[in-house]
């Protein structure tokens, strides 16, 4: 594809890397990661091929929720550095060709935020209406406790305010009333501030909660909350035409699509640029547990196409529990039994607090197959720090902190010179993904791998005369796969991941006969036309 067609839609074939500054690299030896430490490690990310750095919250905080309880949206936690350090990080990343996005956590504030302290002090406070208050919890208010091990209600009585306030998460995180025009203006100012300092967008935390109006006294009279998301998106692009909103929307596909934009018959109104594919991720783990690719194949067959300029974001794991909430109870038990049989490995009854390598017993064949799958699936791949070196979890840490332990730099140094290391494999995958633009831009087709090849996930992505056919074996057995792509009949396909292998000749009927070793994977590409 021509770069002139793709360069202004950089997110379509980006490699996004998520990290927490606090646990990434300690630059001053005080035992806490910091911005200067991250800057000194930026070349590791550059060599890996990262093109977009996603920073978890770095704002001033009491740190009761790993930085998601914020007391100042315009500052930097002094343990991590200063605003000057942050600008230097963004500049250094840009120098290496990396954009930087940050978490936008505006569903709530810390209870210690000056806005909330003012709000609870008096009904006449200018910030009183910035939060959601009720004399008593409404029967028709929002339902569902997010953290059932910590909270029993979404409402907390404040003795000073003499009212209940809404908190969809922890009681020390009162919800902001995003229906309030003043709150909306403030959120825009926060976004504008950080974009002026060089950010290229935001990962929007818990988007459905941000837009929910249940519990508000005038909920029925409020405008469509999606109009607000569209307004935020328009504001973002007025300030920076290349900026993105990456949304955390853990909903079934039909319910996720409106967050890309409302289909008004004339196309899509921009809202989120990208949405995480939570459904595909969960079905992938079910497929791994069963050694049967069909759950993933079925999910991808039914995954809607995003808007032309939008994209799905694909991932193996993120910074939270590995949620399996969209599986049935029986399916979830299958995954628990396979990858987290001990109760201590599970969280909230819906997810796992584990990383991939220990879940797969350290089997490098299987681990490498999963990451090959990640980079070949249609969507923008998102890596979580430490995945490139096969970091495991630390179950001695509480809750979700098990997967938020310190980056293992000793493992990086050990794997750095080893051509057979997982780090080298990940670099190969990134390079191969970037060299095959059809994976990001092409039309994806889930293929039938053949009647005797149910463990194999096969799909093709093609555009502008080139096609990649990717095959991934979920079984610990050799499998003969025979997907059919009529458009490739008679062609020769080269092996992208190992060009030393001879070409694969496609049959006259389009059959691609390939034998995959246990947990094997291949990317086969036709020549430019």
* Active-site residue set: 205, 248
CA distances from residue 69 to 54, 164, 351 in whole angstroms, order as listed: 18, 19, 22
Of 528, 369, 521, 505, whose CA–CA distance to 437 is shortest? 528
Cβ–Cβ < 8 Å for 319, 273: no
- Collapsed DSSP state (helix, strand, coil) of residue 316: coil
Cβ–Cβ < 8 Å for 35, 85: yes
CA distances from residue 345 to 95, 101, 332, 381, 402 in whole angstroms, order as listed: 41, 31, 13, 26, 9
Cβ–Cβ < 8 Å for 171, 196: no
Half-sphere exposure of 80 (CA within 13 A, CB side): 24
- The C-alpha atoms of residue 426 and residue 371 are separated, in whole angstroms, by 8
The residue to which tokens 């600008």 are assigned: 87
The residue to which tokens 């949405």 are assigned: 275
Angle CA 473–475–526, to nearest 5: 10
The token duo for 527 is 């020549």
Q: How many secondary structure helices (H) and strands (E) does the chain include?
A: 18, 22
- The C-alpha atoms of residue 47 and residue 44 are separated, in whole angstroms, by 5
Which residues lie below 8 Å from residue 323, measured CB to CB, with a gap of 6+?
250, 278, 282, 350, 351
Of 220, 123, 232, whose CA–CA distance to 184 is shortest? 232
Q: Where are the alpha helices (DSSP H) in 41-180?
A: 42-48, 83-95, 114-121
Q: What single DSSP character describes residue 130?
A: G
CB atoms within 10 A of CB 225: 16
Q: Strand pairing partners for 447?
A: 458
- The C-alpha atoms of residue 82 and residue 99 are separated, in whole angstroms, by 19
- The C-alpha atoms of residue 97 and residue 490 are separated, in whole angstroms, by 40
Q: Strand pairing partners for 103?
A: 203
The token duo for 222 is 């409020």
């Amino acid at each position: 594809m021509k770069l002139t067609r793709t360069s202004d839609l950089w997110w379509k074939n980006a490699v996004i890397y998520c990290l927490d500054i606090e646990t990434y690299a300690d630059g001053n030896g005080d035992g806490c990661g910091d911005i200067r430490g991250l800057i000194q490690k930026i070349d590791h990310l550059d060599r890996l091929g990262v093109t977009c750095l996603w920073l978890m919250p770095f704002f001033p905080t009491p740190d009761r929720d790993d930085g998601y309880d914020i007391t100042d949206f315009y500052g930097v936690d002094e343990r991590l550095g200063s605003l000057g350090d942050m600008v230097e990080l963004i500049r250094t990343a840009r120098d290496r060709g990396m954009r930087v996005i940050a978490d936008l956590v505006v569903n709530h504030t810390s209870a210690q935020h000056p806005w909330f302290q003012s709000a609870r002090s008096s009904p006449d406070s200018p910030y009183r209406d910035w939060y959601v208050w009720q004399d008593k919890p409404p029967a028709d208010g929002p339902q569902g406790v997010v953290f059932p091990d910590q909270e029993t209600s979404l409402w907390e009585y404040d003795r000073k305010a003499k009212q209940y306030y809404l908190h969809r998460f922890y009681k020390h995180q009162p919800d902001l009333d995003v229906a309030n025009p003043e709150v909306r203006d403030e959120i825009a100012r926060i976004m504008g501030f950080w974009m002026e300092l060089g950010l290229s967008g935001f990962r929007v935390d818990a988007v459905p909660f941000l837009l929910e109006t249940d519990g508000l006294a005038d909920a029925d009279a409020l405008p469509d909350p999606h109009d607000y998301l569209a307004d935020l998106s328009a504001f973002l692009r007025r300030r920076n035409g290349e900026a993105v909103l990456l949304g955390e929307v853990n909903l079934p596909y039909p319910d996720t699509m409106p967050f890309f934009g409302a289909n008004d018959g004339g196309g899509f109104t921009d809202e989120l640029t990208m949405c995480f594919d939570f459904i595909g991720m969960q079905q992938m783990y079910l497929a791994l547990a069963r050694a049967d690719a069909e759950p993933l194949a079925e999910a991808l067959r039914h995954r809607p196409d995003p808007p032309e300029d939008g994209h799905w974001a694909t991932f193996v794991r993120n910074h939270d529990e590995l949620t399996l909430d969209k599986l049935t109870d029986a399916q979830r038990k299958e995954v628990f039994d396979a990858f987290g049989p001990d109760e201590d490995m599970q969280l909230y009854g819906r997810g796992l607090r584990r990383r991939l390598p220990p879940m797969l017993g350290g089997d490098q064949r299987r681990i490498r197959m999963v990451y090959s799958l990640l980079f070949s699936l249609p969507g923008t791949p998102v890596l979580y720090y430490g995945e490139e070196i096969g970091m495991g979890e630390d179950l001695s840490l509480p809750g979700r902190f098990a997967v938020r332990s310190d980056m293992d730099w000793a493992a990086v140094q050990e794997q750095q010179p080893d051509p057979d290391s997982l780090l080298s494999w990940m670099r190969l995958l990134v390079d191969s993904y970037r060299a095959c633009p059809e994976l990001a831009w092409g039309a994806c087709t889930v293929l039938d791998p053949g009647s005797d090849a149910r463990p194999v996930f096969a799909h093709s992505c093609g555009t502008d005369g080139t096609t990649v056919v990717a095959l991934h074996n979920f079984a610990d057995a050799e499998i003969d796969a025979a997907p059919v792509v009529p458009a490739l009949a008679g062609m020769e396909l080269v092996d992208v991941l190992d060009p030393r292998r001879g070409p694969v000749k496609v049959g006259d009927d389009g059959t691609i006969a390939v034998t995959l070793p246990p947990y094997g994977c291949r990317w086969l590409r036709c020549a430019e036309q």
